[in-house]
């Protein structure tokens, strides 16, 4: 959970104070804090002279943005056509069952956030699940438990995406 | 000056005129839901679609007249068989979405909708965006906007908190074509404009017949109106005057 | 690297690189495909292992180890090539690294276990050309993916990179460039197939000069490859980003644009990285920036990342996204070539379209228009995925038949199943049934069959796929990804999904089929943008070609393909069950009871129909009906 309410000046300094910087700025904040804290969005709206309603719409429109903090490990299940045809929905169901989630979301212990994604682009290796920066090819229901074990409680190696 | 034909009638218009404006100029009937003369058109409701063909290609398409700039050589039909079918199917879907809206019911019966094959959704909003646009473009406040995408899209206050930009003008309620933008102002968190919480309901202070097309909102029931002489119109035109 | 200030300096640099390579023509080089697909399969580990093995053999200065972009044969990854012979190895794991290096050091005898064996002829293939998957392809855009390191611009120069830019800046006119592109017959590879040259001509006609007499125009590369099942753009950007940059420089010259953008999906981190490196190197060399190669032309490219919205592949939504707005499309007309980014005339083209431009300039419009059919010229890149033996990326001339794609290149359907349908064009496309398998693939033929070329995603389906479920799946996707602005798409996708779900659950009515038809017509005719207008295609094509399957679900409450959960029952055949208990371990609903070595039984009340038991049962004792 971000304790800062101010977007660090380093982020804002990278961009022009124009409307077209809105999405890259939100992406920076999302990358750094793993979600978009409300006070920061207000500050961005003010800085770019964009209405808060507009900023809120952008923040709720795109899949990459989250207004709620996400779990330590982001699990993305690809539900693209190739993955679907090769059994991805069953992998998703198994994942949700094992993590006791009624639908894609964050576990109570904040360890995992499960999201569906439409096509990571590794269709030759369907079904595919991405956890953090690791891509797991040829998934099946039987492999889910083993895959989750690799991440539970383990430190997360995260690559900073350079802009 | 673009010269185009609408239902066989030739008309020359100023550059930048939309086909809808040209149609209205000729006095031809055309339904709209999300259009307002004082607001920028977005082509959301699709009810104003007309059949358009460009002289060159000869193929026709249905395009929303409100967003279509009139061009030289355009041939427009406002009531072709295709247009009629489109309107009927659209209105069938509108009735299923907002069955309690009188505006939509009237349109549906005007354009011959005889069956509704979908389950009623009883939604309160058709997302025409008039409320959002009037707040932003006429009131210069931008206190409400859309949020989400696709079937999650809704009209919303940022973070579901009434913005300090809202001046409680009531324009959003006034301009709503399905008259469904009700606030449930019994609690501070569900109020849209908070006017009634200040014991000064904007509805019947300024707009006698805009609000309360249906039940009076809870605020009126709980707090009572300021002006006892102004009747509050209920559903189906019945009026009821509160006594203090 | 020093900045190149003239075409002569570019030629000199290229000559230097070539000379440097020729000296070592026989120098062994191990190239490993490090595209996202092979990376997921372990390419990075393989590269590390190879480098270690080379060092251990003391051959660090004699053998190069290089990572390249996607070769296309994703089913067989990790994939590598050993030069100078061009020996092709597949399914290479890190543990085989030592063997590979040893073979190179000792007479280059190929490592047999890593060679591709043709399942039909049984023959072992030595090079890519011998592998049927590759043999039938005409690789133009992907020709160099297996040869160059995408992070080294010098590799690109070696294969003739930026020669087209030199040719254009060295004496062609903007008109000449547009004419060449128009004559080639190149059509937009993003999906709609609009003639590229015509688009460029239209854009050139538009634009008001400012006080200095300059007209501002923009060019954009649409790399928001959102179609599930399509990954050609990703592979091209990962493997040969300079080819796209080169095309854009030429386009900028033709259109008088000073600023270009590449809009890449956020879900493609490797493509973003390689593109960033490529842009940086191009800027360093002065191929981007002011006074490119001394021509006086200025052009810069900015990389913009998507934020996760399929609809942003639509050109006006993409433009809105670059402008910092939500990706809600704008009604057309006016088209972007008239009023686009920031209100200026803009040309948006797909990655593959831009990548084609350089080839057309180098080899001529006649060369390009000789490939393909009368109205669909050139090659097309398809991603062949789904129920097929050889999944991967395939580049073929337009006009090739589906039959050849699936059986000759794709190697047929696995597990002895039979072809049922091919879904082409992603969620905007349609399903082509198996009996149309002799259909030549080009824009016109696909449209006639009710489908669409789209960006080239080709998903093969066999008889274990339920077409009603496929239609429902696409509707679910489109309902989720619809921007929600216009009524027919937002409401129509919801209604259609609702009806299809009911049908899949055995609660459908025959009137539903007419309702679906009407809704489909409405969405096609009245939606604001291409997403809504094509959203009904999967439903309409499956209704057209697989009506019987719909009727089976409705009239008989049966799912012939045994997919729809509410219509199937899993049972264990007691005579075949050996009591191994493998199913119990994977059962999602803890519904299987039984003692070890005794026949097990499924408690239907608890069964979630996940099908995991069937997947793991070795004696195939689990039946579904």
Where in C523-579 does DSSP place strands (E)? 570-572
What would the pLDDT profile of C32-89 be if each residue is shown by its tens digit?
Answer: 988 887 888 888 889 999 999 888 888 888 888 888 988 888 888 788 888 888 889 9
What would the pLDDT profile of A135-145 be if each residue is shown by its tens digit?
Answer: 888 888 888 88
Where in A46-133 does DSSP place strands (E)? 73-78, 112-117, 129-131
What would the pLDDT profile of A105-162 be if each residue is shown by its tens digit?
Answer: 888 888 899 988 877 777 767 788 888 888 888 888 888 888 888 888 777 765 433 3
> Residue range C184-193: average pLDDT?
92
Of B153-162, C246-255, C466-475, least confident by mean pLDDT is B153-162
Contact B117 C515 (CB under 8 A): yes
Number of domains in chain C: 5
Asked if C550 and C501 sit in the same domain, the reply is yes
For A57, half-sphere exposure in the C-beta direction (CA atoms, 13 angstrom radius) is: 27
For C393, half-sphere exposure in the C-beta direction (CA atoms, 13 angstrom radius) is: 31
Tell me, what's the ipTM?
Answer: 0.89
- Chain C residues with CB under 8 Å of a chain B CB are 309, 311, 326, 331, 333-334, 479-488, 490-495, 498, 511, 515, 518-519, 521-522, 525-528
N-term to C-term CA, chain C: 67
CB–CB of B62/B82 below 8 Å? yes
Token output for C343: 């209100």
Query: Is the predicted pLDDT of residue C26 greater than 90, yes or no?
Result: no
d(CA C10, CA C242): 15
* C251 three-state secondary structure: helix
Residue C409 sits at φ, ψ, to 5 deg, of -90, -45
Query: Is the predicted pLDDT of residue A2 greater than 60, yes or no?
Result: no
- The closest alpha carbon to C33, from C24, C44, C25, belongs to C44
- The closest alpha carbon to C398, from C377, C384, C426, C383, belongs to C377
- Report the sign of the C-alpha dihedral through residues B68, B70, B75, B80, in that order: positive
Asked if C213 and C248 sit in the same domain, the reply is yes
What would the pLDDT profile of C521-532 be if each residue is shown by its tens digit?
Answer: 999 999 999 999
CB–CB of C248/C361 below 8 Å? no
d(CA B73, CA C319): 29
Asked if C108 and C207 sit in the same domain, the reply is no
* Chain A neighbors of B136, CB-CB under 8 A: 51, 53
What would the pLDDT profile of C335-382 be if each residue is shown by its tens digit?
Answer: 999 999 999 999 999 999 999 999 999 999 999 999 999 999 999 999
CB–CB of A119/C229 below 8 Å? yes
| Predicted local confidence at residue B207, as pLDDT | 42
Asked if C288 and C226 sit in the same domain, the reply is yes
CB–CB of C588/A89 below 8 Å? no
* Residues A93, A94, A97, A102, Cα dihedral to 10°: -20
Residue B174 sits at φ, ψ, to 5 deg, of -65, -40
> Residue range C266-277: average pLDDT?
92
Q: What integer best gives the mean pLDDT of chain C?
A: 91
Q: Which chains touch A (3 or more CB pairs under 8 A)?
A: B, C
In a domain, C205, yes or no: yes
Q: What angle do CA B215, B219, B222 make, to 5 degrees?
A: 100
| Predicted local confidence at residue A5, as pLDDT | 64
- Scored b (16 or more CB within 10 A) or e, A95-114 reads bbbebebeeebbbeeebbbb
In a domain, C236, yes or no: yes
Asked if C115 and C157 sit in the same domain, the reply is no
CB–CB of C334/C328 below 8 Å? no
Residue the block writes with tokens 């797909």: C350
Q: What integer best gives the mean pLDDT of chain A?
A: 84
Query: Is the predicted pLDDT of residue B209 greater than 70, yes or no?
Result: no
Tell me the pLDDT band of A12, cut-offs 50, 70 and 90: confident
Percentage of chain C lying above the pLDDT 90 cut: 59
Find the CATH number of the domain harbouring C396: 3.10.20.600
The string of DSSP codes covering C92-140 is --GGGHHHHHHHHHTTT---GGGBEE-TTT-PEE-BGGGSHHHHT---S
Query: Is the predicted pLDDT of residue B211 greater than 50, yes or no?
Result: no
Write down the number of H helices and E strands in chain C: 25, 19
**C interface test, pick of B31, B94, B111, B117 with most C CB neighbours within 10 Å:** B117
Minimum distance, in Å, between the CA of residue C303 and any CA atom of chain A: 10
Residue C265 sits at φ, ψ, to 5 deg, of -60, 145
Residue B156 sits at φ, ψ, to 5 deg, of -150, 160
CB–CB of C154/C277 below 8 Å? no
CB–CB of C338/C345 below 8 Å? yes
Write down the number of H helices and E strands in chain A: 7, 4
CB–CB of B85/B63 below 8 Å? no
Query: Which range, B16-20, B238-242, C228-232, is most confident?
Result: B16-20
Helices (H), C418-528: 443-448, 467-481, 487-504, 511-526
Q: Name the residue in chain C with its Cα closest to that of A86.
A: C386
In a domain, C7, yes or no: no
Token output for C349: 């083209």
Tell me the pLDDT band of A86, cut-offs 50, 70 and 90: confident
Nearby residues of C516 by Cβ (< 8 Å), 6 or more positions away: C496, C499, C500, C539, C543
**C616 touching A (Cβ < 8 Å):** yes
Asked if C353 and C248 sit in the same domain, the reply is yes
| Predicted local confidence at residue B83, as pLDDT | 97
Asked if C215 and C320 sit in the same domain, the reply is yes
Query: Is the predicted pLDDT of residue A16 greater than 60, yes or no?
Result: yes
Q: Domain A73-149's class? A: alpha beta
d(CA C295, CA B25): 53
Asked if C223 and C274 sit in the same domain, the reply is yes
Asked if C398 and C353 sit in the same domain, the reply is no
d(CA C351, CA B203): 55
Across the interface, which of B142, B147, B157 has its CB nearest the CB of A60?
A: B147
d(CA C343, CA A20): 13
Number of residue pairs across A and B with CB atoms under 8 Å?
Answer: 38
> Residue range A76-86: average pLDDT?
81
d(CA C454, CA C161): 28
Query: Is the predicted pLDDT of residue C386 greater than 70, yes or no?
Result: yes
In a domain, C197, yes or no: yes
In a domain, C280, yes or no: yes
Minimum distance, in Å, between the CA of residue C324 and any CA atom of chain A: 4
Minimum distance, in Å, between the CA of residue B135 and any CA atom of chain A: 11
Query: Is the predicted pLDDT of residue A59 greater than 50, yes or no?
Result: yes
Query: Is the predicted pLDDT of residue B225 greater than 50, yes or no?
Result: no
Contact A52 B136 (CB under 8 A): no
Domain end call among C430, C462, C494: C462
Find the CATH number of the domain harbouring C305: 3.40.50.11540
CB–CB of B160/B183 below 8 Å? no
| Predicted local confidence at residue B179, as pLDDT | 60
Find the CATH number of the domain harbouring C526: 1.20.1440.230
Tell me the pLDDT band of B235, cut-offs 50, 70 and 90: very low
Domains of chain B plus CATH, in order, are 3-79 (3.10.20.740), 130-240 (no CATH)
- The closest alpha carbon to A72, from A162, A3, A148, belongs to A148
Minimum distance, in Å, between the CA of residue A63 and any CA atom of chain C: 5
* A109 three-state secondary structure: coil
What's the Rg (C-alpha) of chain B?
21
In a domain, C85, yes or no: yes
Residue the block writes with tokens 């030549």: C440
Neighbours of C294 (CB within 10 A): 15
For residue B59, is the peptide bond before it cis, meaning its omega torsion is within 30 degrees of 0? no
Q: List the beta bridge partners of residue B12.
A: B3
Judged on CB neighbours under 10 Å (0-12, 13-18, 19+), B189 is: exposed
Query: Is the predicted pLDDT of residue B234 greater than 70, yes or no?
Result: no
Contact C324 A80 (CB under 8 A): no
Q: Name the residue in chain C with its Cα closest to that of B126.
A: C487
Asked if C421 and C513 sit in the same domain, the reply is no
Asked if C524 and C420 sit in the same domain, the reply is no
Domain end call among C98, C133, C168: C133
Q: What integer best gives the mean pLDDT of chain B?
A: 78
Tell me the pLDDT band of C263, cut-offs 50, 70 and 90: very high
Percentage of chain C lying above the pLDDT 70 cut: 100
Q: Name the residue in chain C with its Cα closest to that of B41.
A: C331
In a domain, C139, yes or no: no
d(CA B94, CA B108): 8
Tell me the pLDDT band of C562, cut-offs 50, 70 and 90: confident
Of B120-124, C181-185, C393-397, least confident by mean pLDDT is B120-124
How do strand C570-572 and strand B239-240 relate by DSSP bridges? unpaired
Tell me the pLDDT band of C207, cut-offs 50, 70 and 90: confident
| Predicted local confidence at residue C29, as pLDDT | 87
Q: Is B79 left (phi over 0), alpha (psi -120 to 50) or beta?
A: alpha
**A interface test, pick of C612, C616, C618 with most A CB neighbours within 10 Å:** C612
| Predicted local confidence at residue C289, as pLDDT | 95
Residues spanned by the domain of C159? 153-368
Minimum distance, in Å, between the CA of residue C517 and any CA atom of chain B: 11
> CA distances (Å), C501 to each of B161, C465, C564, C609, C620, in order?
36, 16, 10, 16, 30
Of A34-48, A148-162, B70-84, C124-138, least confident by mean pLDDT is A148-162
The string of DSSP codes covering C328-392 is ----SSSPTTTS-GGGS-EEEEEHHHHHHHHHHHHH-HHHHHTSB-SSSBSEEEEEEEES-SS-E
* Chain C neighbors of A133, CB-CB under 8 A: 269
Across the interface, which of C495, C511, C525 has its CB nearest the CB of B62?
A: C525
Domain end call among C84, C104, C133: C133
* C220 three-state secondary structure: strand
Asked if C206 and C341 sit in the same domain, the reply is yes
């Amino acid at each position: 959970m971000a304790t800062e309410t101010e977007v660090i000046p380093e982020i804002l300094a990278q961009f022009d104070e124009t409307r077209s910087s809105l999405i890259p700025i939100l992406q920076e904040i999302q990358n750094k804090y793993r979600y978009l804290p409300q006070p920061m969005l207000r500050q961005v709206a003010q800085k770019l002279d964009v209405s808060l309603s507009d900023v809120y719409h952008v923040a709720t429109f795109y899949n990459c943005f989250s207004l709620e903090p996400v779990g330590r490990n982001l699990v993305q299940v690809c539900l693209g056509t190739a993955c679907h045809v090769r059994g991805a929905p069953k992998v998703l169901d198994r994942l949700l069952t094992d993590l006791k989630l009624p639908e894609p979301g964050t576990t109570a212990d904040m360890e995992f956030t499960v999201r569906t994604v439409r096509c990571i682009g590794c269709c030759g290796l369907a079904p595919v699940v991405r956890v953090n920066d690791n891509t797991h090819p040829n998934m099946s229901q039987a492999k889910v438990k083993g895959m989750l074990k690799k991440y539970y409680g383990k430190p997360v190696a995260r690559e900073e995406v350079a802009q | 000056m673009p010269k185009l034909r609408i239902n066989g009638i030739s008309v020359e218009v100023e550059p930048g005129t939309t086909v809808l404006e040209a149609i209205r100029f000729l006095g031809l009937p055309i339904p709209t839901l999300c259009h307002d003369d004082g607001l920028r058109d977005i082509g959301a409701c699709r009810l104003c679609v007309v059949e358009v063909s460009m002289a060159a290609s000869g193929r026709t398409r249905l395009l929303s007249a409100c967003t279509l700039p009139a061009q030289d050589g355009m041939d427009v039909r406002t009531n072709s068989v295709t247009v009629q079918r489109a309107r009927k199917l659209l209105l069938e879907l509108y009735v299923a979405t907002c069955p309690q809206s009188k505006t939509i019911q009237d349109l549906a019966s005007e354009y011959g909708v005889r069956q509704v094959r979908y389950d009623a959704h009883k939604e309160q909003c058709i997302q025409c965006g008039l409320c959002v646009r009037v707040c932003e473009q006429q009131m210069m406040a931008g206190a409400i906007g859309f949020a989400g995408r696709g079937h999650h899209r809704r009209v919303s206050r940022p973070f579901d908190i009434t913005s300090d930009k809202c001046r409680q003008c009531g324009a959003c309620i006034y301009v709503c074509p399905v008259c469904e933008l009700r606030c449930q102002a019994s609690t501070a968190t569900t109020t849209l404009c908070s006017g009634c919480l200040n014991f000064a309901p904007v509805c019947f202070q300024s707009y006698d017949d805009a609000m309360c097309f249906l039940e009076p909102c809870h605020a009126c029931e709980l707090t009572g109106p300021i002006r006892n002489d102004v009747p509050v119109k209920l559903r189906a035109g019945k009026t009821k005057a509160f006594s203090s | 690297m020093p900045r190149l200030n003239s075409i002569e300096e570019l030629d000199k640099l290229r000559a230097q690189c070539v000379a440097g390579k020729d000296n070592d023509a026989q120098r062994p080089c191990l190239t490993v495909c490090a595209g996202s697909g092979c990376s997921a399969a372990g390419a990075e580990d393989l590269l590390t292992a190879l480098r270690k093995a080379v060092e251990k053999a003391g051959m660090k200065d004699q053998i190069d180890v290089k990572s390249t972009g996607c070769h296309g044969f994703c089913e067989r990854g990790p994939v590598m090539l050993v030069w100078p012979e061009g020996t092709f190895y597949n399914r290479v794991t890190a543990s085989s690294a030592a063997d590979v290096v040893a073979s190179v050091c000792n007479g280059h005898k190929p490592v047999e276990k890593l060679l591709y064996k043709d399942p039909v002829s049984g023959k072992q293939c030595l090079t890519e050309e011998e592998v049927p998957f590759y043999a039938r392809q005409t690789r133009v855009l992907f020709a160099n993916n297996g040869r160059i390191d995408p992070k080294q611009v010098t590799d690109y120069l070696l294969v003739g990179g930026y020669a087209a830019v030199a040719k254009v800046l060295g004496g062609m006119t903007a008109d000449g460039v547009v004419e060449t592109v128009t004559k080639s017959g190149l059509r937009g590879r993003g999906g709609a197939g609009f003639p590229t040259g015509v688009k460029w001509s239209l854009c050139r006609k538009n634009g008001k000069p400012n006080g200095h007499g300059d007209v501002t125009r923009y060019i954009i590369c649409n790399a928001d490859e959102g179609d599930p099942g399509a990954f050609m753009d990703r592979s091209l950007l990962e493997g040969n980003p300079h080819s796209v940059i080169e095309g854009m420089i030429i386009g900028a010259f033709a259109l008088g644009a000073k600023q270009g953008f590449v809009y890449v999906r956020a879900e493609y981190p490797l493509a973003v990285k390689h593109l960033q490196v490529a842009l940086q190197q191009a800027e360093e060399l002065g191929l981007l920036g002011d006074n490119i190669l001394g021509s006086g032309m200025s052009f810069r490219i900015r990389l913009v990342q998507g934020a996760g919205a399929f609809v942003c592949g639509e050109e006006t939504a993409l433009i809105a996204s670059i402008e910092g707005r939500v990706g809600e499309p704008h009604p057309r007309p006016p088209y972007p070539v008239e009023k686009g980014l920031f209100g200026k005339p803009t040309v948006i083209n797909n990655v593959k379209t831009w990548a084609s431009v350089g080839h057309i300039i180098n080899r001529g419009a006649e060369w390009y228009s000789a490939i393909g059919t009368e109205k669909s010229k050139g090659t097309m890149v398809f991603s062949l995925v789904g129920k097929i033996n050889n999944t991967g990326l395939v580049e073929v001339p337009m006009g090739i038949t589906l039959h050849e794609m699936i059986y000759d290149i794709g190697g047929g359907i696995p597990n002895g199943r039979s072809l049922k349908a091919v879904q082409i064009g992603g969620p905007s496309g349609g399903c082509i049934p198996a009996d149309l398998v002799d259909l030549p693939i080009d824009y016109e033929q696909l449209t006639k069959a009710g489908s669409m070329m789209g960006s080239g995603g080709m998903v093969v389906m066999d008889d274990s796929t339920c077409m009603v479920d496929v239609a429902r799946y696409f509707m679910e996707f489109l309902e989720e990804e619809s921007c929600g602005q216009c009524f027919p798409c937002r409401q129509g996708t919801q209604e259609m999904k609702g009806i299809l779900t009911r049908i899949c659950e055995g609660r459908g009515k025959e009137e539903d089929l007419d309702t679906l038809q009407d809704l489909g017509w409405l969405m096609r005719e009245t939606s604001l943008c291409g997403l809504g207008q094509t959203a009904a295609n999967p439903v309409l094509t499956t209704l057209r070609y697989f009506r019987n399957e719909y009727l089976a679900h409705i009239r008989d409450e049966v799912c012939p393909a045994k997919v729809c959960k509410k219509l199937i029952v899993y049972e264990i055949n007691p005579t075949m069950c050996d009591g191994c208990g493998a199913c119990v371990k994977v059962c999602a609903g803890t519904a299987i009871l039984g003692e070890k070595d005794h026949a097990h039984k499924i408690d239907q009340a608890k069964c979630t129909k996940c099908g995991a038991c069937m997947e793991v049962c070795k004696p195939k004792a689990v039946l579904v009906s």
